A and B are shown apart, each in its own frame.
Chain A
Amino acid sequence: MITAQFFEDIYPKLLRYAVSLTKRSAAAEDLVMSVITKLLESEDLPTDVNVEAYATRSVKNLFLNTLKKESREVREQNADGESTYDNTEDPISGSFVEAGDLNKVLMGLELKCREVLMLFAVGNSYKEISEVLGIQIGTVMSRMARCREHLDQVVGEK
């Protein structure tokens, strides 16, 4: 049985990861709390899972579902002629989290880079990142190498 204490311990990591997805601290907090609620209420969580990885992956899944839903709503609103909102590519962008310069740089990167770099920054190994993202470890490494080079380039320009 997962306890509240477990989530209290991993909350900062989950929140950081969620921020890397949403770019907004309030939206990130909502995502994380929704996942924590779901998992604390869940009775049929597989016993052989890495719960931290599972929770992190749940944050990503919920984020993607929210994104899909918002994109659909935006399309519907546009079809009705009620809104000219046109930001379907990243509907929850627009305000950076209050953090240091590096965080601002990170938030300027593409989603795939933001998430892989944030997972690494909060202390995950390549293997743990591959588990969270559901991709091969080789893919994690190649993506991270590309994103780190990009990061180095952006930081160097500043």
Chain B
Amino acid sequence: MAFADGQLGSDEIAVVEAALNADPTLQARVDKFKKTGELLKSSIDIENEVTPSHITHRIREIERVAIKKRKKESERGASSLQISWRFLSSLGGSFAAGLACAVFIISPSLMKPVEDASQFQPSAHNQQITMRGSEQFERPYLQQKGVNILDGGNIQAVVPFTLVYKSPISGKFGIWEIVPTSESPNSESIIAWSQDATELDGGKADEGVYIESSLFKIEDQKTLRFRIRVSNDVTSIVHEIEFTVLQ
């Protein structure tokens, strides 16, 4: 068949030709394959088939939209790199302190990404820290689509969410994403941000902290784990919460 279809090299052709000379009955088999090969190729004149114009237009439109989408995603990517955030996110984030609507916005440029957790060691001039859980939630949690998701729950990828920590604080607080590495299962190598509570609400965050991100896009990860640490010279409290990411 390969001989009939012209798909043999010169050495192989010579071998087949020798076999054909020695056994004339093989020629009938070659002829049969030649016939079906020609039949197949002649029935479909692929070289002269032209893509219909309505398909051409659709393909070009798809390309135009794809280019636009890539450009937009590229701009988002560049923006997230500036703040060292693991997620491809546009961190139009805000911190809001106080349940009594003392809400304020902090721009990404004011957030302070840090790479060294040691700066959260208690220091002498921080105030006494007081922390208590809210009536309903003792621990930090997430809100997504208006639903409260407690530690251990499921969150959806791409859908924006809010990290809520209802607790009066003083001193410093920091929020990390925990990214296990081969060296350390609890590595804090990727930092969300840190902030001194004294910079919130004129020096004191009485009621709690809301970390709100308008657009998080979680990439290829199955879990999302946060560590929230609040500390002053007397107390250091660490919360860890983990969620399963549903793609």
Are the chains A and B members of one assembly?
yes
Q: Which residues of A contact B (CB under 8 A)?
A: 3-4, 7-9, 11-13, 16, 29, 33, 36-37, 40-41, 43, 100, 102-103, 117-118, 120-123, 125-126, 141, 144-145, 148-149, 151-152, 155
The yes or no answer to B51 lying at the interface (CB within 8 A) is yes
22 contacts between A and B (CB under 8 A): A4-B63, A8-B59, A12-B46, A12-B49, A12-B50, A40-B66, A41-B62, A41-B66, A41-B69, A41-B70, A43-B70, A102-B40, A102-B43, A120-B5, A121-B43, A121-B44, A121-B46, A123-B47, A141-B1, A148-B37, A151-B40, A152-B32
Chain B: minimal CB distance from A149 (Å) = 7
Residues of A within 8 A of B33 (CB): 145, 148
The yes or no answer to B112 lying at the interface (CB within 8 A) is no
Question: Of the candidates B36, B43, B62, which one forms a contact with A40 in the assembled complex, judged by CB atoms under 8 Å apart?
Answer: B62
Q: How far is the CA of A16 from the CA of B45 in the complex (A)?
A: 11
Q: How far is the CA of A13 from the CA of B35 in the complex (A)?
A: 22
Q: How far is the CA of A158 from the CA of B62 in the complex (A)?
A: 44
Known: A16-B46, A141-B1. A152 touches B40 (CB 8 A): no
The yes or no answer to B55 lying at the interface (CB within 8 A) is yes
Q: How far is the CA of A108 from the CA of B212 in the complex (A)?
A: 60
Asked if B36 and A152 sit within 8 Å, CB to CB, the answer is yes
With both beta carbons as reference points, the residue of chain B lying nearest to A43 in the complex is identified as: B70
Question: Of the candidates A8, A12, A126, A151, which one forms a contact with B36 in the assembled complex, judged by CB atoms under 8 Å apart?
Answer: A151
Asked if B58 and A144 sit within 8 Å, CB to CB, the answer is no
Asked if B39 and A102 sit within 8 Å, CB to CB, the answer is yes
Residues of A within 8 A of B58 (CB): 33
Q: How far is the CA of A18 from the CA of B62 in the complex (A)?
A: 20
Chain A: minimal CB distance from B27 (Å) = 15
Q: How far is the CA of A43 from the CA of B70 in the complex (A)?
A: 8
Asked if B43 and A11 sit within 8 Å, CB to CB, the answer is no
Asked if B43 and A100 sit within 8 Å, CB to CB, the answer is yes
